[in-house]
Every structure is written in structure tokens, then in C-alpha cells.
Amino acid sequence: MYEQIQSQMINMSKQFANAALQANTLALQNAERLIGLQFKTLEERINANVSFFGQASEARDIEDLKTIMPKGLELAKEHAERFAAVGQEMIAAQLKTNQAIAELVKGQVEAANDEIRNVATQAADIATKNVDKVVKATARK
């Protein structure tokens, strides 16, 4: 009986380690995706800034600067909008990953509960049989 319980505990430990590995994999994949998104956004914004400053450096008089100013304001607006959108994408991706990890944990908890319930049921059955044997042996005397 002890070997059976021990083997079941070892199996549960293996399942837990596997679930932890899967959760870590999900978290790392999410981190990789988020970092990639940030770098892509940063690259886009740097390219937009370089283009704008290239145009601004060609301005030679006040009239040229007056035409550049609305472009600068538009660039700032685009930056703010893009960073807000990326922030929302990152939050959505993080929520999705957290939900996947929660489902994984939920499955593991349910599996562990079922396993423990089975072990407890088996132990109760064995104990009942042993008690019945003792009662019968005592009744014979």
C-alpha cells in the first residue's frame, strides 16, 4: 500500500513538474512576443523620427519651419497613439497568457484532486476490508 501511495505521489510530482514547465514555456513565449512588439514599435518610431529630423534639418528659413511644425505635432500624436495601442496589445497578450496558465493550473489541481480522491477511496476500501477481517476474527473467538 505504501509503495502504491509513493508511486502515485511520484506521478503527481512529475505531473506538477510538467505543468510548471508548460507554464514557464507559456510565460517565456509571451515575454518574447512582447519584447518583439516593443522592438518593432521602437524601430517604427525611430524611423519616423529620423525622417522628420531629416526634413527639419533641410529647413532654411521661417517659412520652412512653419511647414515643418504641423508635421512635428502630427508625429508626436502618432507616437502617443502608437504607444497607447502597443500598451493595449501588451495587456491583452498578458491576459491571454495568464488565462492559459490559469487553465493549466486548474487542470493540474483537478487531476491532483482526482488522484487523491482515488488514493483515499482505495485506502478506505482496504481499511474497511481489514476492519471486516478483524471483526470476523474476533466474532469467531
- For residue 54, give the C-alpha cell: 531629416
Reply yes or no on whether the pLDDT at 30 is more than 70: yes
Query: Nearest to residue 114, comparing CAs of 1, 3, 16, 12?
Result: 12
Residues in CB range of 135: below 8 A, 6 or more apart = none
The reported pLDDT for the residue numbered 11 is 80
| Amino acid type, 121 | T
The reported pLDDT for the residue numbered 24 is 93
- For residue 103, give the C-alpha cell: 487553465
Reply yes or no on whether the pLDDT at 1 is more than 60: no
- For residue 68, give the C-alpha cell: 515643418
- For residue 8, give the C-alpha cell: 502515485
Question: Are 115 and 8 spatial neighbours (Cβ–Cβ below 8 Å)?
Answer: yes
Place of cell 500624436: 77
Residues in CB range of 115: below 8 A, 6 or more apart = 8, 11, 12
Reply yes or no on whether the pLDDT at 5 is more than 80: no
CA-to-CA distance for 3 and 15, rounded, in angstroms?
A: 18
The reported pLDDT for the residue numbered 141 is 65
The model's confidence at residue 112, banded by pLDDT at 50, 70 and 90, is confident
pTM of the model: 0.69
Task: Give pLDDT tens digits for 37-48.
Answer: 999 999 999 999
Reply yes or no on whether the pLDDT at 134 is more than 70: yes
Please give the average per-residue pLDDT across 17-33, as a whole number.
Answer: 92
Give the DSSP H/E element, type plus range, for residue 60: none
Task: Give pLDDT tens digits for 118-131.
Answer: 878 888 888 888 88
